[in-house]
Homo-oligomer: A and B are copies of this chain.
Amino acid sequence: MMKKNKRGFASDNNAGVHPEILEAIVQANQGHVVAYGDDPYTESATRKFEEMFGEDISIYFVYNGTGANVLSLQTLTDSFQAVICAETAHINEDECGAPEKFTGCKLLTIPTENGKVTIDQIKPHLHSVGNEHQAQPRVISITQATELGTVYRPEEIEAISRFAHENGLLVHLDGARIANAAVSLDMQLRETTRDLGIDVLSFGGTKNGVMFGEAVVFFNPDLAQNFRFIRKQGAQLASKMRFIAAQFEALLTDDLWRRNAQHANAMAALFSRNIRDIPRIEIAQPVEANAIFARIPREHIPELQREYFFYVWDETQSIVRWMTSFDTTEDDIMDFVSLLRRLLC
């Protein structure tokens, strides 16, 4: 019924589902299994996570990234506590206040240049510790890759985790694009999360070829003991859980997570290489994952958007965001680059 949908650079969640994942869904559609996750698909996908991240973890599927983030935070906090994060964090900017609603907590935000927070920026927020008049810092939430397409260095995360634990705080990692970060750093998923001291990970699937579903991974299972109640009360417990589990099984099979992210990152690199010399385009952030932020002449934006849809990130500065995904093609890039050259040169 629908005509073929064109690809664009609006977001990696504008892409569809990777064929291997869709095939896994189709294969899972046989007969009856017990609902709510007490089924062999969930069991099997859980094993895959354990192979990837090591044993002694607790892993739970939820519907989406906001669900993964807010239920993680709810699990780690009491309402009188606070979550420290970058001003640009998805939990602060893009979830319509869901963290406040679910947790009752205050977000203590840090302005950043590139989406990455530092210990020096976090420290002043700890002055309130023990003062009953102020929300008590409990969690540092960082995003990897960041919302600005940058990637924390392992030692940066390690330092944050160490600081957090020394100060009685926990570390949550919003990993909506953790695969892109791992590829960027040429590391395993475990090396970029658990091994760096992360306590809880929102493991992203949707932006990496999954239809729906994210995973919450607790590297300390003690933290997770109430999560299944919190998930159910949070309306994030899928009844036909096998269809989320089967997708993650596929994502973690034959390194599909890596292949998809590698491709998306490579396309972003190709993109940025080919526009560096175009006049009047200024790349605004290091291109370290699958996003390009660029300042371009305001007047050409509408024409560009007509061909390949994308979003303006900062109206006042005329900065746009171009995202690549697992299904972006070299032709998409080169075609768009040609258009850019035509308009700007």
A13 to B240, alpha carbons, bound, how many Å?
7
- Chain B residues in 8 Å Cβ range of A63: 63-64, 212, 235-236, 238
The contact string, 1 if C-beta is below 8 Å from chain B, for chain A 1-22, is: 1101111101101111100001
The distance from the CB of A112 to the nearest CB of chain B, in whole angstroms, is: 15
Q: Find residues 7-56 in chain A having any chain B CB closer than 8 Å to their own CB.
A: 7-8, 10-11, 13-17, 22, 25-36, 40-41, 44
Q: Find residues 190-247 in chain A having any chain B CB closer than 8 Å to their own CB.
A: 206, 211-212, 226, 228-240, 242-243
A32-B327, A64-B238, A101-B234 given; name 19 further pairs at CB < 8 Å.
A1-B44, A10-B35, A16-B32, A22-B29, A25-B211, A26-B26, A36-B133, A67-B235, A71-B235, A80-B226, A80-B233, A93-B134, A95-B233, A96-B232, A97-B105, A97-B233, A98-B235, A133-B232, A211-B240
Pick the 7 closest A-B CB pairs, nearest first.
A5-B31, A97-B135, A80-B229, A101-B104, A96-B232, A67-B235, A14-B32
Cβ B226 vs Cβ A240 within 8 A: no
Residue of B29, B102, B134 near A94 (CB, 8 A) is B134
The distance from the CB of A56 to the nearest CB of chain B, in whole angstroms, is: 22
A100 to B8, alpha carbons, bound, how many Å?
38
Asked whether any CB of chain B lies closer than 8 Å to the CB of A338, the reply is no
Tell me whether A98 and B6 are in contact in the complex, defined as CB-CB below 8 angstroms, given that A13-B240, A16-B32, A35-B14 are known contacts.
Answer: no
The contact string, 1 if C-beta is below 8 Å from chain B, for chain A 92-121, is: 011111101110111100000000000000
- Interface size of A by CB at 8 A reads 85
The contact string, 1 if C-beta is below 8 Å from chain B, for chain A 118-153, is: 000000000100001111100000000000000000
